[in-house]
Amino acid sequence: MPDTHSNYKLPVALVIASSLALAACSSMPGSSSSSSTTSSSSSSSTSSAKAAPNSYQPVSDVPIPGGTKINTDKSVILGQGDKWFGRMVLVTDRPSTQAYTYYQEQMPTFGWEPVTAVQGKTSIMTFTRGDRGATLEITPGTLSGSEVAITVSPRQGNGAAPAPTAEKK
């Protein structure tokens, strides 16, 4: 009579090996279920957002205060250093009023010229630097701190929006 238990040993071993491999992948930095998510105990505004480690600074021409985390779920950064464009969303433990003051003071030290700023519950700041423009949107966090969305894009040729054209009848 054949041993029926030996027929199950290979599939069981494959299932166990696959489970271990998947468990190892899920704990790797940068994976979708990484343990580097921000938590409400770390004074962040988004408890489910993935954040990059504090030492990670993908750009060099925008101030990022110490202790700030980059929300990688909401950020798209193309390029690096001071040659990038896209959207970088930061989660900081500073209240939105302090974040506003910080960026108002620090952006010019990084070569950005202020264009306009409006402070309110959601604050908007606009800067230019060379052939790029930056818009900062600062919102209060859910429990504490604030979220700073920095959008950098190329400027248009003369820096002005295109004039609307009249429709022909």
167 domain-assigned: no
72 domain-assigned: yes
Q: Is the pLDDT of residue 35 over 60?
A: no
- pLDDT for 59-110, tens place per residue? 999 999 988 999 999 999 999 888 899 999 999 999 999 999 999 999 999 9
Same structural domain for residues 28 and 93?
Answer: no
Q: Averaged over 118-135, what is the pLDDT?
A: 96
DSSP string, 72-97: TTT-EEEEEBTEEEEEEEEEESS-HH
Q: Averaged over 45-58, what is the pLDDT?
A: 51
Domain that holds residue 5: 1-35
List the beta bridge partners of residue 47.
none
Q: Is the pLDDT of residue 31 over 50?
A: no
Same structural domain for residues 28 and 86?
Answer: no
Same structural domain for residues 31 and 44?
Answer: no
Token duo for residue 81: 């250093």
Token duo for residue 17: 């090996």
Predicted local confidence at residue 141, as pLDDT: 92
How far is it, in rounded angstroms, from Cα 12 to Cα 18?
10
Q: If you compute the radius of gyration of the chain from its CA atoms, what whole number of angstroms results?
A: 23
Positive or negative, the CA dihedral 17, 18, 21, 26 is negative
Token duo for residue 42: 């770390």
Same structural domain for residues 85 and 145?
Answer: yes
How far is it, in rounded angstroms, from Cα 72 to Cα 59?
14
Same structural domain for residues 54 and 99?
Answer: yes
Same structural domain for residues 27 and 47?
Answer: no
Domain count, the chain: 2
